[in-house]
Structure 1
Amino acid sequence: MSSPTPGPAAARQTAHHVATRALDWLYRNREHGSLPPDTSAELADPDSVYKPLGESALAASLVLREGVAPPEGRRAARALADFAWTQLRAGDLLYERQLRYPMMTDPLEIYTHFTRAGHRHTRLDALLTHLGGLAAHRGAEQMPNRRLAVANAARVAGLDRPTDWTTLIDATWLGQRPEPWVIDWMTAYCVTHTVFHATDWGGRPLGLPPDVRDYLTDWLPVWLDAWVEIQEWDLVAELLIVDACLPEPRGDAEAWARLAAVQRADGLVPRDGLHPVSEDPAEAFRDHQHTTVVATVAGTLAVSRYRDAPAAV
């Protein structure tokens, strides 16, 4: 393995500190993400706790997959994944929700993070296998990057679903390699998720076609600079994940330094530079858990991938 070059080496060190502190914050504050005792498969407000549990499980699963965190970090990731799995009643809640709402994709998408961390649910596996064979699922109407999300979730969960990845990627905004200056905030999030799912969060860095990789190599630094300037830290962290998903990550030391500078001493990473962080721990968790998750993921992938990266320019 080659030695780190100066640009990525500096970014890697900063990313390590950000990820370590962010993961520790997620672990210490995990109880704020507990489901109410009477939670059922209907989930009147899925975004309130259910979705964040899946996000924390994603971060934990990638820390475990990459294996670059120190021992205490890997223990925290394991405990965080196990906590979220327990909250979902060892997968029973996911099974009940999928059984009641067969066209919903969130049970599969959340379940796949747990399969990455070693948890399985036999009845849910059988149900997902059955549903994947239905014409109703093959013809489901979804945004292109969402269709990629479901395809990657099925791939990671080990479900046998034939997938034309080139066709799925070509259907996205990013797959068309459009004029880069027309990108807006929501489209940028769609771009990041296209990359996440096509590459399985950096696990398959060649998952994007070469022309799309070249397009990102040219324009990702520009987009990153723009959102650093306006202090959209959640999107900055997601764009740093995109960089780490590419075959040759750039390793933007300046962007990492800016993100590290706004991380609080307790590990929380604020979502933006406009809104103050509440001193109420529960409210702070609700508002900034997602950004701290993506910072954990970005830092973990950077530590793993920047070791062989070329120097930043």
Structure 2
Amino acid sequence: MTGTTDTTVLRSAQQVSSGALRWLHSCYRNGLGRFPEDATIDLADPDNVYKPLGEAALATGLLLREGVAGAEDSRIARETLDLAWEQLRGGDLLYERQLRYPLMTDPLEVYVHFARADYRHRALEELLDSLARLRAVQAMEMLPNRRLAVANARRVVGLEQRPDWSALAAATWLGATPEPWMIDWLTAYDVTHTVFHLTDWGARPDGLPAPMRDYLRDWLPVWLDVWQEIGQWDLVGELLIVAACIGEAEVGIPGWLALAAAQRPDGLVPRDADPVADEPEQLLTDHGHTAVVTVVAAAITLARALGGASGATAVAA
């Protein structure tokens, strides 16, 4: 991306991301998104606190990985990571949950976002490594994009594995390069996650097979236009991540401008075009994920434009 227009768009992406990051940080700093005092590793509602903590770690960890944030945003990202890791009792909760439920993959899928930012729990890693040798674990049935998520998590954490990446990619909806007009809202999320895990969130762009990349280059602009038109801002953010991961960040220019227009003065980026609730905890529940995808999309977009994590010049917040 070059030229004055592209510089303006990159600045817009950075500003939207910085606002979303600060809103997310303020939620956690003010005591929202925390486990209740009587919470156990059984986690009756994993999507309430547990999964969002991992997502917050994903966004802040990738922002730090790419090195494109200014000093203040980097400090905020690190503090948010600290708060999330503290809620997981320094990884002990993940270890205990994996020990109790050895066939579950969510402890690894949450842990990887912390491990990427050098928050490590050696006992958990030893347990994961041991469990992976069991036929029962190898035979786990899951959606193809989830299988990719587990394989990439093991790769990032540094656990031994020998996956057939080509076969894993081919088993996904995107791997079939199907009729593009048949995509629906849920399948679109599956497509985005296939790209995230094959490329490790843009760090390994060659991990996406060429036919899938070519297919996305043809149809991603169309899909972005469709979901932007109806105000599905969370999905727009995910598709912007895909655009950055495959080196087509300029496709997302209208999307970034639309997200900037939709963002509230406090930094919240709404999930969709529906009315926004007033209750703080509900705000985090409804729109926390959109803040995450906004930060991730901007981090990868800026990194690709500025040269990646190595040697990138941070855009001052």
Question: Fold conserved (TM > 0.5)?
Answer: yes
How many residues are matched? 306
Tell me, in whole angstroms, the C-alpha distance in 2 between the residues paired with 1:215 and 1:206. 15
**1:250, 1:168 → 2: CA distance?**
29
What is the deviation of 1:289? 0.5
Query: How far is the alpha carbon of 1:28 from its aligned partner?
Result: 0.8
The Cα of 1:137 is off from its aligned counterpart by 1.5
For 1:9, the equivalent position in structure 2 comes to: 7
Query: How far did residue 307 of structure 1 move?
Result: 3.6
**d(CA) in 1 for partners of 2:195, 2:238:** 10
Structure-2 separation of matches of 1:63 and 1:212: 26
Determine the C-alpha separation between the residues in 2 that align with 1:249 and 1:236. Answer: 13
The equivalent of 2:192 in structure 1 is 192
* Counterpart-to-counterpart distance in 1, 2:236 and 2:120: 33
Q: Report the Cα distance in structure 2 between the residues aligned to 1:11 and 1:169, rounded to whole angstroms.
A: 32
- Per the alignment, residue 49 of structure 2 pairs with 49
- Does residue 288 of the first structure (1) align with residue 287 of the second (2)? yes
Q: Distance in 1 between matches of 2:108 and 2:257?
A: 36
SS at match of 1:69: coil
**Structure 2 residue identity aligned to 1:209:** P
In the alignment, structure 1 segments of 5+ residues that lack a partner are none
Q: Which residue of 2 aligns with 1:220?
A: 220
By how many angstroms is 1:11 displaced? 2.4
Deviation at 1:6, TM superposition (A): 4.7
| Structure 1 residue 173 displacement after superposition | 0.4
Correspondence 1:103-252 to 2 at 5 A: 103-252=103-252
Return the alpha-carbon distance in structure 2 between the equivalents of residues 169 and 199 of structure 1. Answer: 11
Which residue in 2 is equivalent to 1:19? 17
Alignment of 1:268-283 (within 5 A): 268-273=268-273, 275-283=274-282
TM superposition score normalised by structure 1: 0.95
Residues 199, 245 of structure 2: 8 Å contact kept: yes
1:61 paired residue number: 61
Deviating 4+ runs (over 2 angstroms): 3-11, 247-252, 306-309
SS in 2 for 1:250: helix
Q: Distance in 1 between matches of 2:251 and 2:3?
A: 10
Once the two structures are TM-superposed, the CA of residue 33 in structure 1 deviates from its matched residue by: 0.9
2:218 alignment partner, SS class: helix
Report the secondary structure of 2:162's partner residue: coil
For structure 2, the 5+ residue unaligned runs are 309-317
3-state SS of the aligned residue for 2:32? Answer: helix
What amino acid maps onto 1:219 in structure 2?
W
* In structure 2, C-alpha distance between the alignment counterparts of 1:185 and 1:240, rounded to whole Å: 15
Counterpart residue number, 1:262 = 262
Q: TM-score, normalised by structure 2?
A: 0.94
- The 1:204–1:5 alpha-carbon spacing in structure 2 relative to 1, beyond 3 Å, is farther
Contact 2:240 2:249 in 1 (8 A): no
CA distance in 1 between counterparts of 2:267 and 2:168 reads 37
Deviation at 1:7, TM superposition (A): 5.1
Distance 2:225 2:265 in 1: 24
> What amino acid is the match of 2:265?
A
In structure 1, what is the equivalent of residue 312 of structure 2?
Answer: none
Equivalent residues of 2:19, 2:267 under 8 A apart: yes
Cα RMSD of the aligned pairs, angstroms, is 1.4
Give the residue type in structure 2 aligned to 1:10: T
User: Contact 1:227–1:233 (CA<8 Å) still a contact in 2?
Assistant: yes
SS of the residue 1:32 aligns to: coil
Structure 1, residues 196-245: CA drift from partner, whole Å, max 9, x if none? 11001111111101111111011000000000001100100000000010
Cα distance, 1:248 vs structure 2:
4.2
Q: Is the 8 A contact 1:9 1:306 kept in 2?
A: no
Q: Give the Cα–Cα distance (whole angstroms) in 1 for the partners of residues 196 and 7 of structure 2.
A: 23
